[in-house]
A and B are shown apart, each in its own frame.
Chain A
Amino acid sequence: AQKITQTQPGMFVQEKEAVTLDCTYDTSDQSYGLFWYKQPSSGEMIFLIYQGSYDEQNATEGRYSLNFQKARKSANLVISASQLGDSAMYFCAMRERRDDKIIFGKGTRLHILP
């Protein structure tokens, strides 16, 4: 069954440090996509980064990178040089090709400390 697990309910990180948000997943589909979204306190959902199951290189988007370890079924988000504006909820999500269903993890609340 399709499943996303985020084991860190909350994290506190000093400004300018790098931070890794954990995400593990479970699927029997060979073709799938993994996504990260940011939800600031204002409530909107912001797409950050995507990784396909057949992509050989880790995805990067500016300060965001996705550490994809297929054999371990993990897709951790790495934020380099964290900023105060990175304080938000972060959600990992997965989409399987076979049925178009997209499910989310429970999220991690990230607090960046000045």
Chain B
Amino acid sequence: NAGVTQTPKFQVLKTGQSMTLQCAQDMNHNSMYWYRQDPGMGLRLIYYSASEGTTDKGEVPNGYNVSRLNKREFSLRLESAAPSQTSVYFCASSETRGFSPLHFGNGTRLTVT
């Protein structure tokens, strides 16, 4: 089982460039999440989607957009990258019923110069 797949694994952007981080899960989960991880800050929630067709802002949504393309896929877009968006990005998914744990992708290391 692939679980949660994120692409790319590494990316370097120049300030002002745009890019989309892709995430797909094959566990038939309803809920999907995007986090960023920075040293000393833990994981901070950017956006999440509790079900297909819905998205909600998390703790740090500014500078990002998301699309829940279908039940499997949840993409994160940086329209105009800034150095402050240099981070490791994690996608995760979960069942909505009860309190199921998150299943994480392997992360994308993004550097904005």
Contacts and interface: CB of A to CB of B under 8 A. Distances in A.
A91 B90 contact: no
A52 B35 contact: no
A56 interface: no
Contact of A33 (B43, B45, B92, B99): B99
A101 B106 contact: no
A50 B45 contact: no
A6 B106 CA distance: 24
Contacts of A100: 31, 48, 50, 96
A107 B37 CA distance: 11
Interface in A7-66: 9, 32-33, 35, 37, 43-45, 47, 50, 52
A102 B42 contact: no
B90 A45 contact: yes
Contact of A102 (B41, B48, B88): B48
What is the size category of the interface that chain B forms with chain A?
20 to 34
A21 to B, nearest CB: 13
Contact of A43 (B59, B88, B92): B88
Contact of B45 (A9, A102, A106, A107): A102
Nearest to A103: B45
B104 interface: yes
A43 B107 contact: yes
Interface in A62-114: 91, 93, 95, 97, 99-107
B11 to A, nearest CB: 16
A56 B90 CA distance: 32
Interface of B: 31, 33, 35, 40-45, 48, 50, 56, 58-59, 88, 90, 92, 94, 96, 98-99, 101-104, 106-107
